[in-house]
Each structure stands twice: as C-alpha cells, then as structure tokens.
Structure 1
Amino acid sequence: MARAPYPPSDTDGLVARVSEGDNAQPLSITEISNLLKRTVEDRFGHVRLRGELSGVKRAASGHMYCALKDDGAVIDGVMWRGNAGRLAFVPEDGLEVIATGKLTTYPGRSKYQIVIDSLEIAGEGALLALLEKTRQRLEAEGLFSASRKRRLPYLPRTIGVVTSPTGSVIRDILHRLADRFPSHVVVWPVLVQGQGAAEQVAGAIRGFSGLEPGGPVARPDVVIVARGGGSIEDLWSFNEEVVVRAIAECTIPVISAVGHETDTTLADYAADQRAPTPTAAAEMAVPVRADLVATLADFANRQRRAVHRPVELGRERLEARVRRMPRAEALLQPQAQRLDDLSERLRRGLTDRARQGREELVGVSSRLSPRLLTGALSQRRERLERVRLTPALVQRPIDASREKLAALVRLASQLHPEKPLERGYAIVRDAQGKALTAKAQAAAEAALTLQFRDGELGVTVGDTVPPPKTPRKPRPAAPPPRQDDLFG
C-alpha cells in the first residue's frame, strides 16, 4: 500500500505521524514478544535437543536452569521443580545430554529457551573427558598423593592470597580474617577467568614460593588460591596443568578455595587443603583470636585453681569431719536418757516392792496371833519330850565311822607298791630308776636294778629264762558290808 508523503513541517522526522488510510499501527514490545512466543510455541511444540550442559544451577524454588550448547550455538533451558525432582541423575556441567521439551521465549530478556520435560544422558562431554584424562595423568605422577600434603601452620604471621583484586572474594577473605584473627595479608592480583588467567595464577604461586624470608616483601606462611563460583568454563583456568604443577611445587602450604562447595577443580587435588568457599579458606588459615584469649584465660584460671585447690580441699575435708564429729551433749544424751529411765524404773520398783511387802505383811500379820504361836510351841515341846536320848544312839555312828577308817587303812597297805616284795616279788628298774613293766623294755637296757624286800641288786641283761609259774593264792573274801546306822 502506498503511503502519501507527509506534508513538510518544522517537526518533520521528530514526531511520528500516521497518514490517512495507513492500517499498520505500531506494536508495543509486549505485543511483539507475545506474538513471537505464540509463533515459536506453535511451530516447535515438541523437540528433542542434543547438547552439552553448561552453567547448571538449582534455584531455591527447586527449578533447574542451564544452557545447552554445541560447537556453533547455545540455547538456554529451564526445568521446573516437578520434573527436576524426578531426574535419575545429577546434572553437571560438561555432561552431554538429550533434552525433550518445547521451545518458548522469555520476553523479559528477549531470549528463546527450551522448557525441558525430560533429560537423558547422551554421553560424556568432551570438556569433562579432557578434565578426567588430565586428572588421571597428573595423579599417576603422584601430584595428588596424600603423602605430599603438609599441615597448615597454626598461627601464620603472613597470609598470601592469589585472586582477583576487584572481586568479592578478596573482600570476603579480608573481612573473615579481621573477624577471626587480624593478620598481615599480601594479595597477588591475577585474572581468574579468560585468556592468560592460568599463567598468571601459576606465576603468582611461584612468586610467593620464591620469596626469601626477611626480604622487602614478607614471605607468606600459607597461600590461599581463591575464586568465586561459576560454570566449568569459568573455572577452567584452575584445571590447567600449569596451575596444578605450580601448586604441587610450592614450598608454602596452599589452600585451594575455587568455586562453591560443589565445584571441584584439579587445583583442589593438588593443594594441601581444600576449602569449600573462600570464606572457609580464611577460617582454615587462622584460629579465632577470641577463642585463643579465652583459652589462655581459662589456662590461667585453671592454674590458679590448681594452686588453691589443695587448700580448699583440706578446708572442705576438715569442715566435713567437724560436721561428722558428734557434739558433747549428743554423746551424753543417750546415757542421760538411760539414767533418767533407770531412775524412774528404780523409783517405781521401790514403790512397787514396798507396796508388795506391805501387802504381804498385812497378809501374814492377819495369820499371826498369840494363840497360834502358843500352839506351835506346845507341839514342838511334845515332840522333844517323845524323843529319848541313849548312849547307843551316839556310839553307833562313831563305831561305823571307825570301821570305815580301818577298812581304808587295810586297803592302803595292800595297794602299796612295795607290798608285793614281801611275797617274793621284785621290781625291775632301769638305770634312771624307772620301773619297767614289759620284757621289751628290759631287753633294751644294758644294766638293770632289781629291788627286793631287803635291798637292791644290780644285774646285766643276757639270755633270759622264763621263770616257773607258781599258782597264785586266792584273795581272801571281803567282809560283808555293814548296814549304816539309821541315826548316823
């Protein structure tokens, strides 16, 4: 459709004008964006794309954002929380995948993107394959061996930091060091991304290692190699072999703090200590000054308590023993109580015994009368008068006692050990004068003494002849016992 030329005016070219009959009205940005969105979604409602993941990140909402790329192009992608939660693997940068979904646009940035419904692994990314090969080769050389790791100094005087001087990393490190333990920090500024970054990082590490102690620039006690988070391409400088070898050859302990906690580079394997974040690297480098001050104060208090503790323990033991010792009134209280109890019992006993004696006396006195006493006296007198005293009653017990005494005298004379000598017997004695009663005892002696009625005879032991047997005289019968006097 031909348009009529605008009439000439002073404002020609400054103010938009619509000619008569022109139906091509200008569109707003939102309108054209929505038209493009509908066109793309209608034309590419369902697609399958093959590419390499890059810049994968999970938002706090659970959605996953990434980019799919190949050698010639890049397309942004988003996977909503529901589908992302059903993934059978963890998406990582450099992983070659096949994404299924639909194309759409994002008007807020005038970009087109794919809304991913499903994600499948298509193969290992070339970048990660290169990284893995480099890691295996350097590990075979022993650059990642645990025996090469060194302990970090407990309290470094100087800390060297290899990072970008304009990023937030150095500010985080300095702020954290100031909070924990203010230290002298030497920053070696380098590029951390892009062309030449790896060479600058390696040169900074070698430069710190080559510093002489006591020189114009203080030699660090520990070196922190730090960078913020990013994609695998952003962190690739710290996977370069030149950086890894510089860290392995450094004569100063190195802390690697590249990326976030989930990012891992070859520099982390070669470093003496890996920190998940640059802030964590500052925490590893120095202790907390307040904790050290508190520890020293605690040691001083413990030393003071250790000095005073024996005195306090002695005082406590003495007080405890004093508390356990009974008081004098407590010791005498049971005995005093027992004395009171016995006194009361004695008083009651005397009272009861006096009452009982009084009652018995009353009972007995009621039975006593002059007539009873006179009758008892008369009975005793009559019994005395009936008893007749004669000499025979007195003489009979005396005779019986005399006969018992005579019998004992006869028995004693018969039982005397020398009495048998009068009947022809002899007593055989040894050299010590001990009487022998057995043949074996006599045969064991060299000399014996025979005691007869009229003297002793010494003999020697020789052949023995059995003496003739003589009949023993029967003992005279003992007189029959006499009956004792009934009045004896």
Structure 2
Amino acid sequence: MDLFEDDTTGGNAPEFTVSEISGAVKRMVEGEFSHIKIRGEVGRVSFPRSGHVYLDLKDDRSVLASVIWKGVASRLETRPEEGLEVIATGRLTTFPGQSKYQMVIEDMRPAGMGALMAMLEARKKKLEAEGLFDPARKRPLPYLPEVIGVVTSPSGAVIRDILHRLRDRFPRKVLIWPVAVQGNQCAPEVTRAIEGFNRLTPGGALPRPDLLIVARGGGSIEDLWGFNEESVARAAAASDIPLISAVGHETDTTLIDYVSDRRAPTPTAAAELAVPVRLELMGWLDGQGARLTRGLERDLTQRGQRLRDLSRALPRPERLVETARQRLDYAGDRLPAALRRGVDRHRLALSDLSGSLRPATLRRAVAHEAQRVANAATRLTPAQTRLIAARSEALSARAARLRPEALVADITRKQTELDRLTQRLIDAQSRLARQQQDRITAASRLLDTLSYRKTLERGYAVVRSGDEVITSTEQAKAATCLEIEFADGRFAVGSAPAKSRKSKDEPPQQGSLF
C-alpha cells in the first residue's frame, strides 16, 4: 500500500502522525530485510557498561550503524575490533528516536583467514609496543617446583601426556584447572584460570603453584584462536607465577607464546622444561658424593704427610723446656732470701712513717690549723664591711644616673643631636639634587647643540630613501622615491636620473623637485 497515494482526485493527501510514519517505515524495513548477511569493515566500536556493543560497518562509500545485544555479544567467537573485515548476519530495523536505520547483528565472523591474520598481526604489534614481548621481563623457571598448575582440558590427551611425563622425570604435585580449549568460552576461562592460580595464598589449604603450564593440542587457527585473545595474553604477562605456554604443535604460534616466560613446542616438552630427570639428579648426586669422598681422602692424606714433615723439623719437647726449667730452679733458690729482705725494708719504712703520727705531733698540727682559722675569721668581718661599702657606692652612682632629671637631660641632649644630624642630611640631599639638576641641564644643552636638527636650521637637509640615508648621487639615482627632511618638516619627491654633463665647464642643470 502506498502511504502517500492520493485518495481523492482533488489531491488531498491523508494526514499521518510522526509515530505512524515511523512505525510504517519500521514495519516495511523489517519486513523486507528480516534476515541479511553483510560483508564490511568494522569502524567505530564502543562497549558501554550495559554489555551491548555498538559499532559501524563500512565500505569505501557507506557506513551502516549496527548493534549487538548483550546476550549475543557474550556468545560471539570473535570480539569486534576496529579495522577487522567481517561477515555479519542479522536484520535491519529502525530507531524512531533519531530517524535512522541500523542493523541488529545476531552473528559475526571474520571474512576469511586473511581477516583473522590481519587482526592477529594488529594485536601482536599493539602488545609488542607496550613491551609485553620484551625478553628482559621474562623470569627464569624454578629448577624444581613443589607444585605445578596446569591450565588445560581435563578430558584430552594433553593432561595425560603431561602427567605421564612428570611421573617419569620427577613426580610433583599437580593442580589442574579445567578449561575449554576452543570455542567461545576458551579465552575467558583461560584468563580466569591464570588469574585464579595467582590469587591463591602460598602455603594455604590449596597451595599456590610454583609454575604454570597452559597447554593444548594442535589444531587449526580457528581452534587455537582463544589463545590469541588479548585478555589471555595480558593475563599471562601479568602472572606473578612463571608460565610455560604449550599450545598446539611446534609450528603453531599464538599470542600467549610471545608473552609467556618460556614456550614449549608440545605439552610433553612443557613437562620436560618444568622438572629435571630424577634419575639423572640421583646419578649426579652419587657422582658428586664420590668425588667429595675421594677429595676428603686425598686431602687428609696430604695433610697427614705435611704434618709429619713439619714434625720432623721441630725440636724435642724436653729441649724446649730445659732452659725454662733451669731458670725456675734458680729463681726458687733466690726467693726466700728476697722475701726476707723485702719484709725488713717495708718494716723500716713503716717505722719512719709511724714516728710522725705520735699524739703530741698530731696535737701540734691541730693547734696550728685552729690558729689559722681564727686569724682568717678576724680578717673576714673587715673585708665584708669594705665589700658592702664599695657595692653600696656603685649602686648609689647608678641610682643617681637613673633620676628623672638626669634622664630628661639625656633625652634632651640626644634630641638635639638628632635634629642636628637631620638638618645635615637635608642639606646634603639638597646639594646632591642641585648637582644632578645642573648635570642634566648641561647634558640637555650639549645634546641640543650636537643634534642634527641644529644643522638643519642652518640650511642643510637630510635625504632618505625609506629608512636609508642617501649620501651619494649613485644612491639617489638608484632610489625610486626620495624624502627630504628640512628643519621645519619632511616631504617626498620623485626621483629621476640626472642628465650627464656635456662638458666639464657646463654646470649641471637643476631638475624640478616637484
């Protein structure tokens, strides 16, 4: 039905409301384009908090606004990125609020292998520019980890190969975090597994692994695409636990291989990188033990031989103490007589000292000291009297200086001196000002005398061409316009080439200045 068909021959068109027109257009568009596939390049992409995805599909001439609702966006295998060429399946609808049409996308896939590789290359360049591939940030693997965390599918052959290889080489505790290794849920589950292992507490009920292995068997690039997602690569780069990537076969390369600390060509090789061979370590320890035993035996033999050689060079012990024993015997013979002489000498010294400590001597010493104290006491009173008199006199002199009359006289004298110094300062400032004024006047007269304007007043003129002063006829001939300055002002004149003289005696003709 034509909405704009005239119902009468008079041309009176029916009237519609805006909502009626918008609804009719919406039904028409949705009826005609209820299921379509569009190939185009993803333009502007936005991911608001609502979970919906708003993007543009474009080619070299047109742009189509599109929306992916939250439920569909969570099931997409490929996250839309700007510049990615895709094939979108969905339906067209209108948005009456802005009078525009848009596509509601129900499925989106990259437009062939070239689009996937282009998107992978773009992600690789982005992460490399951020420094996530820098070898300096890669950490060494622990030599013998106590606990190994494995992120892989619990039902595949990969986990059996890893466990079997670990059992053969060096049995360790293994924690398995089951994840989907392909499909829509692969990237988010692997990301949560890596982050979950890093959140475990060291030494807790569930021990934190010392090493992580992210493993998967071989497959096509679509099967391995989950390990090319940016979230997986960033989780592996941010892991505090050293990480080995073992995704695909030796020829398969994913983004997680670039950011991991070590890349293993196969899951079995990852297990070999994780632990050493126990039997080889035991053999090495036995060899080291044997070497240590032989070294100790050889060292003990050498030291015993050295001790015997040195002992032959030493004298006999009896000879070492013969001289000391003889000196001891000699000193022992002299000791009793020396003790008696020492006692007699100290007894004589004590007798000499005790003679000066007799009672009569002590009484004389005490009486002498008492007489000295009495003499000092008799001199003390006159000395104190003289000191007090001197201090009183000094205090009276200071009190006289602090009387009101003395203070007023001192202030008056100081004020007179200040007035005299003030008047001298004013006089000096006046003389300095007159001297400076005289110098300025003389300089002004000199400037006026030397000014070129005084020369102009005597009948001279200054010829200019622009800002340049003309000082020769050659410059005047070359100038296009001349300006002459007299004492009373300036005016411009046209310049004409001067006529050459016919003879030396004929004066040049004066041209008109106007």
Normalized against structure 1, the TM-score is what? Answer: 0.39
Normalized against structure 2, the TM-score is what? Answer: 0.37
Higher helix share: 2
Larger Rg: 1
Higher relative contact order, structure no. (Cα contacts within 8 Å, ≥ 6 residues apart)? 1
